Chain A
Amino acid sequence: MSNFSFLNPFGVLDEPGTYMGDFYSNNFARKAQAGNVILNLGPQHPSTHGVLRVVVEMYGEYVVRSEPVLGYLHRSHEKMAEHKTAYGFLPNMGRVDYLNAIGWNWAYAGACEQLAGIECPERAEYLRVIAAELNRISSHLVWWGAFVLDLGAFTPILYAFDDRELICDILQRVTGSRLTMNYFRFGGVGADGDDLFFSKIRDFIPNMRERLKMYKALVTDNVILRRRLEGIGPMDADLCVRYGATGPLLRAAGVPRDVRRSIPYGIYDRFDYEIPVAETNDNFGRYWVRLQEISESLKIVEQAVAQIPPGKHIVDKAPKPSWKLPPGESVFSVEGARGEITVHVISDGGKSPYRVKLRAPGFSNLSVFAEAAEGTILADAIAILGSLDLVIPEIDR
């Protein structure tokens, strides 16, 4: 701020264009009303979860206008796919969204299998469901902790990580890693679950149910949290559809859309579970939907562990690293923790795919923010940002 003076102590914009900033803030400031403050939230702000940057025009504590600025964590995953073999791109999938690695694994493996017409063995399908649902729970747990941290409570995130560690241990048994998991292969999964894997899951489920009760008593029922969330950040179905927001955002707006139900993939049609839907449209609805999803995922895991048949975890003659995709294209969607993950693979039969398009749910979900945060006060805008469950690497890809 070079225009600081005692007559103008707030760095208020007297005339457009006097603001010293980069292209984004200058462009943003051009439309600002005189007397409003342009505030840069991020990329190093504590509650933008990494390197998201939001330029906000503020009138006092009120957010008049906001604009997310992306691209601080762009790693060109889509371009990388064009230089690697189809198999070689699999490990990238664990890195697109570090909290929901299995969801992305499934989306890409599913798209390639659909294109090549590979069928998975029964046992592999069950292992996929178990891994995906456990990963969904762990992703929601991190979100829960981080969201409550955004609202100012420090302790719950550590309780959430307590439970998440158990899931990491379980998934490490089969995937070998705790975060950027690379578990799926074309035609099955990388490793079969052993007895310890299943017994750990069986121990985990009742333990987690007990902890969910504690979460409810400590956080969900807390009056401060309730009043911070209820009725804040309305995003109705129309808004979500216009921006393409999916997942818990859409379900909290009263639309029961879940890819597991609407375009069933894998063996999700064999399990008994519900799609939680909230009609309230607010931050609390999104919070409630995600917590319900944890218990629904627990139900699915419980059934899958009970029903899992013996057999092989991967097809015979599974594709090797040098395997070439047959020419053609395919689109495959799965329900990730943050919403609908879609992978579009186009192949010309060459060594590597011709083009891979990754549709990240977080990108569309973030676009809703500018409209939803309009006219709220700063603390609420932060709460809305938290309720979107953003993972910046996934948005930037």
Chain B
Amino acid sequence: MELSKISVLSLVELVVACLLVIALMVANAIVMVYAERKGAGFIQRRPGPYEVGPWGILQPVADSMKLLAKQLFVPANVDFLLYFLAPVLAFLPVLLLFLPIPFGPYLTALKVPDGVVLILAFAGFGLLANLLAGYSSNNKYGILGAGRAVAQGVAYEIPMILALLAVVFQTGSMNLSDIAEAQGSAPWRWNFLCQPLAFFIYLVTLVAETNRAPFDLPEGESELTAGFHTEYSGMGFALFFLSEYANMLLVSFVCATFFLGGYKGPILDGFWWTFIKAYAVMAFIVWIRWTFPRVRFDQLLNINWKWLLPLSILNLWITAVIIKLV
């Protein structure tokens, strides 16, 4: 009797958390579509969206209405099951990844002791969606994009894991709340200063993992038109779009938790600090997208295998030695 009561309660809690996370993802996409286009506009000295609503703030709404109303165009000879499954697969795992993130001291959807493992295990799931999308849509650009997406995602996951592992070594815990808690309130004790190399490696890999410029090769517009989602329109495209922004948000939250002190701040700890830090990282991602040219594919892999991987191993090794000595 007692046991079932608890499980029902926790189930309700989980469902509510999932709904909140979905709301967060959608709200984030709406905010980021607007912010990114405005940011790009200001960098390029034009106003960005301007016509829909005051200062164009209703632009994301108009965009999503357009995407909803668009015809779902299915090209000839596609693999129907995979073609429709791919956008859903891109969207769903991100939902799971948000659960262990500690937004605030008490605001965690799913308190699991090994949150890092959960995130890293399911982070690769989006890749599968990209692969299926490119493969099933019967398009040569799609196939090229899918191939690139897999090679890039698999490669960049390794230094990402190793960089995060260094922080885990330092903290001695795989619980994200513990990692945030261990960094304390003072900014100079946060991990981006204690683990500068890991922070740098993570910054590079997070751009690559989310397929954003300058590492946006799977969709490399000037080469592959739109890469793996060339043949998607309407809601299929919208789901890819949503998952891209959700992925960005996720890696930014992870970055905030691991390297920027999480919900801790100089004054008044709370979830607002997590959000401020995560959106600062998002702003950084947007900023570099509108600044740099795209790298070439072999260069992308060279950066990873020849520089980031050895550096992250070195970093891990140094961290281990220091922890052993101290």
By a beta-carbon cutoff of 8 Å, the part of chain A in contact with chain B is 1-2, 4, 9-11, 37, 39, 45-47, 61, 148-155, 158-159, 162, 218-219, 222, 224-225, 227-228, 377-380, 382
Contact = CB atoms under 8 A, between A and B. Distances in A.
B213 interface: yes
Given A9-B135, A228-B296, 15 more contacts: A10-B140, A37-B140, A39-B140, A47-B223, A151-B294, A153-B293, A154-B289, A155-B44, A158-B46, A219-B293, A224-B214, A228-B293, A377-B297, A379-B220, A380-B296
Interface string B227-248: 0000000000000000000000
Contacts of B291: 153, 155, 218
B222 A149 contact: yes
Contacts of A45: 225
A151 B222 CA distance: 7
Contact of B44 (A39, A158, A225, A377): A158
Nearest to B41: A158
A155 B216 CA distance: 16
A46 B141 CA distance: 13
Contacts of A10: 140, 143
A148 B44 CA distance: 14
13 contacts: A1-B77, A11-B138, A46-B222, A47-B222, A152-B216, A152-B222, A152-B293, A155-B40, A224-B292, A228-B295, A377-B297, A377-B298, A379-B220
A224 B290 contact: no
Contacts, number: 88
B306 interface: no
A218 B288 CA distance: 12
A152 B221 contact: yes
B45 A152 contact: no
B252 to A, nearest CB: 21
Contacts of A148: 293
B140 A158 contact: no
B80 to A, nearest CB: 13
B151 to A, nearest CB: 10
Interface in B10-60: 40, 43-46
B138 A4 contact: yes
Contact of A377 (B40, B224, B296): B296
Contact of A46 (B135, B214, B221): B221
B44 A153 contact: no
A167 to B, nearest CB: 17
Contacts of A378: 144, 223-224
A149 B44 CA distance: 13
B4 interface: no
- The listed residue with most A CB atoms (<10 A of its CB), out of B40, B138, B292, is B292
Interface string B141-169: 10110000000000000000000000000
A152 B225 contact: no
B140 A159 contact: no
A219 B298 CA distance: 21
Given A61-B144, A149-B222, A377-B298, A224 B45 contact: no
Contacts of A377: 296-298
A380 B216 CA distance: 16
Nearest to A48: B222
A153 B221 contact: no
Contact of A379 (B40, B43, B44, B223): B223
B211 to A, nearest CB: 13
A140 to B, nearest CB: 18
Given A152-B216, A378-B144, A378-B223, A225 B45 contact: no
Contacts of B224: 378
B214 to A, nearest CB: 6
Contact of B43 (A39, A61, A151, A155): A155
B293 A225 contact: yes
B223 A1 contact: no
B44 A1 contact: no
Nearest to B216: A152
A152 B220 CA distance: 8
A228 B223 CA distance: 14
A222 B291 CA distance: 10
Contacts of B43: 155
Contacts of A222: 292-293
- The listed residue with most A CB atoms (<10 A of its CB), out of B144, B222, B295, B297, is B222
- The listed residue with most A CB atoms (<10 A of its CB), out of B40, B220, B223, is B223
Contacts of B144: 61, 378
B7 interface: no
B134 to A, nearest CB: 11
